[in-house]
Amino acid sequence: MALLESPAGGNQNRAPGILALTWIAFSISLIAVALRMFTRAVIVRHVGLDDVFIVVTLVLLLTFSVIWTYYASEGGCRHVYYLSAARQALLIKINWISQPFCIMAIATGKMSVAFLILRILGVAGIWKRRVLHFTIYSVFLGATVDIILTFTQCIPTRALWTPSAALHAKCLSPAVLTTFALIISSYFAAVDLLLALLPIAIIKELNMKRRRKIVLSAVLSLGVFAAVCAAIKTTKLVSESSRNDFTWATVDLVVWNVNEINVIIVAACIPTLQPLLSGLEATGRTKGYRRSEFSDERIELGNRSEAHAVRRSGIGRVPRHVQSPNHDSIQRTIDVDICMSAV
């Protein structure tokens, strides 16, 4: 577990900078989720599964950040060469214990985004809904298997951080674990890209102005930055197999995990803040909250309040005698408007 030679660069400690990044990023995510939940619970008065999962993601991220802070304060961002055997065992144990919170936070964040897109789709787009449901289940399953494998790769588990137990333990090859991690990480990056691009396909089919389509597509596709973080993180996974300097080797990996989670949270929250932003914009001009700019355009169907009443009533359809030839496209446009500004 210990290095035989002094590492290049000497006794470095990356903790101060990394902890600053961790907590600044978490603070931004906390503000984003707080604004989202205020918008959903107070202004819109409707909380969905996408909101629940983003809160779960934030709690998991907070737990991971607290553990990581303790880990870093104990020397977890230093080379093991400069750590005592007892300190090495403690830090490696903490490192393994923290991983399930990080892994599941990444998964629940993606699930929240998928639920948000499902909300926008409504009952339309059967194949898109199936893709999203498959994504939700597969991401959760992949994260669960990853967590189980983390703690069953060695029997007994304490062999991961106790040298004496490792002498008689049965462990999988680090190469096997690295390969599995690369597969899962690559799949998760592909999911981020899918969740970023799918809204563009949805918005493209709607009956609205081009500028409005571009704005909606951009807002709903911010997850592409999460895909970038996931891709960079995947390139760092090979270094994790270097268990001779486990504490130092995993620092960059943790940084990009934290970046990915925070980007997912913020990107998932921004599209839900339209009612709040519209209300702030209207302050001083009118009383109360006006509708989002996404809901201002007059549609052939007529009065929006009536369309909203139809949507809320559960009927889900406009009577045939008031339907226009482009009814399906118009109805889906209304669904998106309602989801973005009134659901």
Task: Assign 135 a pLDDT band (cuts: 50, 70, 90).
Answer: very high
pLDDT at 2: 52
Angstrom distance (rounded) from CA 340 to CA 23: 30
Of the given ranges (90-104, 143-157, 165-179), which has the lowest mean pLDDT? 165-179
Which pTM was predicted? Answer: 0.79
Whether 26 contacts 259, CB under 8 Å: no
pLDDT at 311: 41
Angstrom distance (rounded) from CA 15 to CA 141: 33
Return the CA Rg of the chain: 24
Task: Assign 188 a pLDDT band (cuts: 50, 70, 90).
Answer: very high
Whether 331 contacts 302, CB under 8 Å: no
pLDDT at 313: 33
pLDDT at 318: 42
Q: Give me the domains of the chain, ranges plus CATH numbers.
A: 15-273 (1.20.1070), 291-341 (no CATH)
Task: Assign 242 a pLDDT band (cuts: 50, 70, 90).
Answer: low
Residue 337 half-sphere exposure toward CB, CA atoms < 13 A: 24
Residue 106 main-chain phi, psi, to 5 deg: -60, -40
Of the given ranges (40-44, 53-57, 259-263, 327-331), which has the lowest mean pLDDT? 327-331
pLDDT at 67: 96
- Comparing 289 with 181, the larger pLDDT belongs to 181
pLDDT at 138: 97
- Give the count of beta carbons closer than 10 Å to the beta carbon of residue 343: 20
Which of 67, 61, 69, 57 lies closest to 18 in space, CA to CA? 69
pLDDT at 202: 82
Could you report the per-residue pLDDT of 195-206, keeping only the tens digit for each?
A: 998 888 888 877
Whether 317 shows a pLDDT value over 60: the answer reads no
Whether 3 contacts 241, CB under 8 Å: no
Of the given ranges (96-110, 140-154, 181-195, 242-256), which has the lowest mean pLDDT? 242-256
